[in-house]
Amino acid sequence: MSYLLYCIFRSPLPAALEIPDGVRGSRVFMANYNGLGVALSKLIEPDPPPDPSSIRVYERVVESFYRHLTVIPMRYGCQVGCPYDAVTLLRENHDAYGALLRQLEGLAEIGIQVVVDKPMAGPETDRLAIPPEWFPPHPNAFGADHTDAKKLPHQDAQRTALVERAFVENLCGSLHGSFLRRKVEFPSSRRSRLLSLHFLVPRDSVEFFRQSACHLPPNPCVKLLLSGPLPPYNFVDALPS
């Protein structure tokens, strides 16, 4: 038997909080230690497969806490052997968790996915474009097939990497003043067309960030898809193991 961890927060819980059922329909309950709490649920399978439906349920639980509290969101699959282990986790990392919660107070995560030469589903207001000078000089620079990429001269591969980084700097520069921190996930291979950026934004400035993104110059070849506000999954790098 094991227990899935969802998020860490400051207790007590607000009366308005409504917690949905967890993964596989298990009841979500809390373990507490000295002003900190962690949400968890019992796992029937010790190592549940990360199927899309379970991940959506997991995220829905985390977001139910996030609507009312500052949270440290855990990654799907984090688990302990018993509820007492969860209490031990809070006790041994109490100062670190407390400091991280203070850092995340009043903040949200906004994501931008960059899709090159490929339409994205979603509301038209969320489909944004970028200036031509940010577009890679090679037509398949972001999304070339891996086999084709190996045929490119070494200097072209280097140029592609430089263009990707210049693209990120230009995009982030255009949003300067609307976010506090950023993280970038470059394509893991030439087969991928996806470049992901994550921004840490004050909750009360989310609309300002979105409006700033909406005023980027148009380009039909490159689309940006916004997501959020979300719990700050990509900004908990200070989280102890």
Q: Is the pLDDT of residue 221 over 70?
A: no
Range in 107-111, 118-122, 140-144 with the lowest mean pLDDT: 118-122
List strands edge to edge, sheet with 181-185: 127-129, 222-230, 107-116, 194-202, 181-185
Give the pLDDT score at 150. 55
Q: Which residue has the tokens 């110059």?
A: 217
CA 163 and chain centroid, separation: 24
Domain ranges for the chain, please list them.
Answer: 2-104, 107-235
Q: Report DSSP letters for 94-135, one per residue.
A: HHHHHHHHHHHTTEEEEEEEEEESS---S-GGGEEE--GGGS
Range in 50-59, 92-101, 143-152 with the lowest mean pLDDT: 143-152
Residue of 23 and 125 predicted with greater confidence: 23
Give the C-alpha separation, 41 to 39, whole Å. Answer: 7
Are 159 and 138 contacting, i.e. CB atoms less than 8 angstroms apart? Answer: yes
Range in 8-17, 91-100, 153-162 with the lowest mean pLDDT: 153-162
Segment 158-167 mean pLDDT: 67
Segment 154-166 mean pLDDT: 62
Segment 152-178 mean pLDDT: 68
Segment 58-81 mean pLDDT: 92
Give the pLDDT score at 237. 72
User: β-pairing, 127-129 with 79-80?
Assistant: unpaired
Identity of the amino acid at 70: T
